[in-house]
A = this chain, B = another copy of it.
Amino acid sequence: MARKLKEVADFLQARLIGDGDVSVTGIASVQSATPGDLVFIQDEKNLDSALQSRASAIIVGKFAADKTYSKPVLITDDPRLAFARAAHLICPKPARVPGVHPSAIVHAGAKLGSVTVDERVVIAEGAEIADGTWIGAGCVIGRDVFIGEHCELHPNVTIYAGTRLANRVIVHAGSVLGSDGFGYARDPKTGRYEKFPQVGRLEIEDDVEIGANSTIDRGALIVTRIRRGTKLDNLVHVGHNVQIGTNVVIAAQAGLSGSAVIEDNVVIGGQVGIADHVRIEDGAVLGAQSGIPSKKIIRGKGVLFWGTPARPIRAYLKELALLARLAKKE
């Protein structure tokens, strides 16, 4: 969508140096830019290559001097953030035409707003889907599921009965929401595992995004909950009864065991393992592959923890260095 740079500058509240009548029609990296593209650089050292690229304009930081360049520049506090926002303006998501594809099977007892339901979707009795939401091909929406406004479900997602998604939730292909938790009671006489009831629910708040092929279990007796603005990558596992706060980031293949509590603003690296009943307090950062043993509490806003069992990275690196040194001496 063609936008004059002047418009983009207004939208970003950025300072424009150069010709505001230049049009941008796309976004790109510096390396792949073609004429019409807007690009961004986060560091001053990349300014020259951006200027030499084929891009039509550049989002830069405060580091850019107050002078004119060979291309128009937009000066912002945070070029990467500004670029992400500009992308929404220049390349808005394609509008989806509301309507239910004739191959979709929607139960007469389901309530659909003005939604886009693609091929072969199955929607069960009692489900309710609000305006502006898209359900991709092959999704299966269970009984009494509620999905709010402007959600996007990519193809082949399965949502178990009773799950609730608020607004603007994005779920990537193949993910499973509201599946049974992993809970059994063992009979000491026979050694057999009896299934513990998994009759709670799953609730996901506004603006959550869930990657592809992730799995999020319903509560056993209570509600598994993911709060507003939290982002999960691909192949993430969230066990029953887990409580995840707002604006949490969880990288690919991390796993959260039953009843873990993740407070707001936590950052969880890839392949991190969090055992049952762990509490990760506000703003802690868990390095990739770290492991938190059962019932531990991790505390420390902005502190990076690493290793299994996870400890502050400074202590961990010191241990690693010492061990390497001792081994070398042998």
Contacts and interface: CB of A to CB of B under 8 A. Distances in A.
Contact of A192 (B158, B176, B247, B255): B247
Given A173-B160, A176-B174, A309-B320, A78 B255 contact: no
Interface string A240-283: 00000011010111010100000011000111010100000000
Contacts of A231: 182, 184, 193
Interface residues of A, number: 101
Interface string A133-144: 000111010000
A271 B251 contact: no
B265 A257 contact: no
A102 to B, nearest CB: 9
Interface string A284-324: 00001101010000000000000111010001001110111
Given A156-B156, A315-B327, A326-B322, A211 B182 contact: yes
A330 interface: yes
B155 A158 contact: yes
Given A84-B185, A84-B196, A212 B32 contact: no
A2 interface: no
A214 B172 CA distance: 13
A101 to B, nearest CB: 8
Interface string A168-198: 0000111110011010111110011111110
B251 A257 contact: yes
In this complex, the member of A160, A176, A195, A311 whose beta carbon has the largest number of chain B beta carbons within 10 angstroms is A176
Question: Which 10 pairs across A and B sit closest by C-beta, in order of nearness?
Answer: A158-B173, A81-B185, A87-B197, A140-B155, A176-B212, A29-B221, A215-B234, A182-B233, A179-B212, A212-B215
